């Protein structure tokens, strides 16, 4: 490959760092990486790629037409940047699925439905689904190879980092205050030592764009007082008994013992790669259930996005 790829990243500082780490581990030869500060960085926050400082600029300074690819992890209010970049010929990886409901934007999870990248020709935009969707998709994909599933239920326990880094900071601050007997401000949403439901709007629609044959999928989501690492309890049912023999692949690792978000962080601090960790796999009547955990920042967003970029590049887009 020629070292000619010009890549930009538009995300929060912490996610930018994780994307750059994943890019350094990829086989792509990259000429230039630029950070687009759609979320302002602190003065001391700088990104380095292969030991060199990365140029940081605002969206107003960007010439989107000079880019080959853009990793975009903004919100719906910033979607105009995606449209502008795509119209100028840049292929946009919509990392959080904000364009996923558009009929002419493919929703793709690496290793599952990469053939749908052919639809990139329509708008130069591809959506990686919400981390809740990609985590479930990777977990059930091996089951679908041998079984016909009729119902899928999943409950996601969302960490503070699933929202943004401000939520992580808020959870840390609230935890410290409450442990020291300092009450929260009146009307302040309580994150520490509490849970509450979150919306799952559009998740089923994203999932069905990946697996059109599956209609009976139910998502539940609960905000949990955890800093990093998303966990899911999954139950899948069939009309018949499921005989599933788990086999690990480049994305998934199975464990005989119970794995939690904290344990996942400890495991991955000692190895050079990240994975989706599955444990507590057991049979139920005409089905199976299991527990999955992944670092939604490093794995579901950064790692999967870079793997998606590799697939896009190798298919010639």
Predicted confidence band of residue 123 (pLDDT cuts 50, 70, 90): very high
- The encoded tokens of residue 173 equal 């601050």
| CATH 3.40.1440.10 fits domain 5-128+301-314 | no
135 touches 116 (CB < 8 A): no
Instruction: Give residue limits of the domains in the chain.
Output: 5-128+301-314, 132-295
Residues above pLDDT 90, as percent of the chain: 91
User: Hey, what CATH class is 132-295 in?
Assistant: alpha beta
- The encoded tokens of residue 69 equal 């690819």
User: Given this model, what pLDDT does residue 312 score?
Assistant: 97
pTM: 0.95
- Nearest-angstrom CA–CA distance, 267 and 51: 26
pLDDT tens-digit map of 139-169: 999 999 989 999 999 999 999 999 999 999 9
User: Given this model, what pLDDT does residue 290 score?
Assistant: 98
For residue 170, pLDDT over 70 is answered with yes
Per-residue b or e along 171-193, where b marks 16 or more CB atoms closer than 10 Å to that residue's CB: beebeeeeeeeeeeeeeeeebbe
CB count, 10 Å around CB of 112? 17
pLDDT tens-digit map of 49-95: 999 999 999 999 999 999 999 999 999 999 999 999 999 999 999 99
DSSP string, 224-270: -S-SS-EEEEEEEEESS---------SSEEE-SS---HHHHHHHHTS
């Amino acid at each position: 490959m020629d070292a000619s790829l010009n890549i930009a990243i538009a995300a929060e500082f912490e996610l930018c760092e994780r994307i750059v780490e994943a890019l350094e581990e990829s086989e792509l030869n990259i000429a230039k990486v630029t950070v687009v500060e759609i979320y302002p960085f602190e003065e001391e926050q700088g990104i380095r790629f292969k030991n060199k400082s990365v140029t940081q600029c605002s969206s107003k300074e960007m010439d989107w037409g000079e880019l080959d690819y853009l990793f975009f992890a903004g919100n719906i209010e910033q979607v105009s940047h995606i449209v502008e970049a795509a119209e100028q010929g840049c292929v946009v990886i919509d990392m959080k699925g904000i364009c996923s409901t558009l009929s002419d934007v493919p929703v793709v999870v690496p290793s599952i439905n990469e053939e749908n990248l052919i639809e990139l020709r329509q708008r130069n935009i591809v959506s990686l689904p919400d981390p809740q969707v990609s985590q479930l998709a990777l977990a059930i994909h091996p089951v679908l190879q041998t079984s016909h599933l009729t119902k899928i239920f999943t409950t996601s326990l969302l960490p503070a980092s699933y929202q943004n880094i401000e939520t992580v900071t808020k959870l840390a601050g609230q935890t410290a205050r409450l442990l020291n007997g300092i009450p929260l401000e009146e009307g302040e949403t309580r994150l520490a030592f509490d849970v509450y439901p979150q919306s799952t709007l559009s998740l089923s629609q994203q999932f069905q764009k990946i697996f059109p044959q599956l209609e009976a999928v139910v998502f539940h989501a609960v905000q949990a007082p955890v800093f990093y690492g998303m966990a899911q309890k999954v139950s899948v049912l069939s009309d018949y008994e499921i005989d599933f023999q788990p086999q690990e692949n480049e994305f998934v690792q199975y464990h005989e013992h119970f794995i939690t978000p904290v344990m996942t962080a400890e495991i991955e601090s000692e190895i050079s790669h990240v994975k989706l960790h599955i444990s507590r796999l057991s049979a139920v009547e005409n089905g199976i259930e299991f527990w999955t955990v992944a670092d939604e920042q490093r794995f579901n967003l950064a790692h999967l996005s870079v793997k998606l970029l590799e697939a896009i590049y190798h298919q010639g887009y």
